[in-house]
Amino acid sequence: MKRGIFFLLFCILPFLSYGRELVDIYGRRVRVPDRVERVVAVGPGALRMVVYLSGTEKVVGVERVEKGGFTPYGRPYTLAIEKRIGHLPIIGEGGPGKLPDFEAIVSVRPDVILACAMNPDTVELIEEKTRTKTVALDYGALGVLRSKRFMDSLSIVAQILGKEERLQTIVRYTEETERTLNESTKDAKERPRAYVGGLGFKGQHGITSTEAGFLPLKLINGENVVDRIGKEGHLFIDKETLLSLDPDVIFLDVNGLSLFEVDLKENPSFYRRLKAVKGGKVFTILPYNYYNTNVEVALADAFFMGKVLYPERFQRLDVERKTDELVRFFVSEPVYKIMKEKFGRFGKIRAEEKGVSILDVW
């Protein structure tokens, strides 16, 4: 009897002592190896977390979207690792709501799978089909830079990759940057009324695509005219509503610039009625929500919008230099120059019936 008990303990002890247990974003207890050397990241934003934490050397396979499935120029993290992941196997198409290729994942032998923005059933399915420990991650609500879910997820990835020190550096830097933006604007006496248009939402859209609680504006205590509508998140408004709101300043996502230009040519009388257009107060910003949240782009947008709305508060700010600093810090590579050349840049829009052009504002 005793011999049988000892034999049973001998068999199960290795499994009991194997690795360490983590709790993922859904409260699932996942036991991962003490030392993780091989990972794959699936779902919107999973790979970005690995890049932020300087853990790309452990990635052994990537989604097709990360290798040109759609333009990488709006995602600094992809540009930063373009050469590094060029030779890596494809482990799925990628994109919201799409499952990875289970056989392809098995073939690259990851120690852990990082799965972001997927429901619990999907995470369980991936783990079952690949027989590989799968950890659920999430970015949380859109419009919250350091949501608890995002910071918890980043912390989980840091523990898995052994990047706790880098995590603390990111937390400190982000907190200090947010504090700077808030302190620079919280007591401003004049707050121009702003509108943000041209926001992408399952595709490109023109000026009537907007967002209540737009994150970069919140970071600088800006007045978003859409907030008074009483809705949350992304929404489409009609042109009459925009005319009634008649903002002092309009910020246009560069993703929607081409549609704005077409509409300007087709409906010039509408734009001539907008105060911001008449006063030359229309500016471009970069899309921060691109395959989930690009934190560095959200912060860069906030600094640029701050310089436009509160010029006296940001007199010494060099937006180009600040954006380059933010991008370098988060993705560890100087890729802002490529973004600017290939994707779009901050600037002032000269809106004329014959077309639009972007002018420097510094």
Query: Domain with 43 in it: what CATH number?
Result: 3.40.50.1980
For residue 71, what pLDDT is reported? 66
Token pair, residue 247, equals 């903002």
In-domain check, residue 172: no
Containing H/E element for 113? strand 112-116
Same domain, 99 and 48: yes
In-domain check, residue 14: no
In-domain check, residue 179: no
Q: Is 338 exposed, middle or buried (0-12, 13-18, 19+ CB in 10 A)?
A: middle
If one counts the domains in the chain, the total is 2
Q: Is 65 exposed, middle or buried (0-12, 13-18, 19+ CB in 10 A)?
A: buried
The answer to whether 314 and 362 have CB atoms below 8 angstroms apart is: no
Instruction: Say which residues have a Cβ less than 8 Å from residue 13's Cβ, sequence separation at least 6.
Output: none
Same domain, 159 and 113: yes
Same domain, 57 and 107: yes
In-domain check, residue 272: yes
Same domain, 221 and 152: no
DSSP β-ladder status, 347-352 and 355-359: antiparallel
The answer to whether 114 and 160 have CB atoms below 8 angstroms apart is: yes
Same domain, 217 and 353: yes
Give me the average pLDDT of each 10-residue run along the chain (362 residues).
46 56 97 97 97 98 87 83 95 93 98 97 98 97 78 97 98 96 96 96 89 95 95 93 98 94 94 95 93 94 98 95 98 94 90 78 68
For residue 70, what pLDDT is reported? 65
Q: What are the CA-CA distances from residue 70 to residues 63, 67, 78, 344, 359 (Å)?
A: 11, 8, 11, 16, 27
Same domain, 221 and 320: yes
Same domain, 338 and 265: yes
Same domain, 137 and 219: no
CA 318 to the chain's CA centroid: 23
By residue count, the chain amounts to: 362
In-domain check, residue 170: no
Q: What is the DSSP string of 288-346?
A: -BSSSB-HHHHHHHHHHHHHHH-TTTTTT--HHHHHHHHHHHHHSS--HHHHHHHT---
In-domain check, residue 181: no
> Which residue range(s) make up the domain with 263?
190-359
The answer to whether 251 and 281 have CB atoms below 8 angstroms apart is: no
d(CA 190, CA 176) in angstroms, rounded, equals 24
Same domain, 138 and 196: no
Same domain, 232 and 122: no
For residue 9, what pLDDT is reported? 44
In-domain check, residue 168: no
Same domain, 216 and 322: yes
d(CA 21, CA 275) in angstroms, rounded, equals 58
In-domain check, residue 154: yes
Single out the residue in 107, 128, 163 at which a domain terminates. Answer: 163
For residue 327, what pLDDT is reported? 98
For residue 344, what pLDDT is reported? 87
Same domain, 159 and 199: no
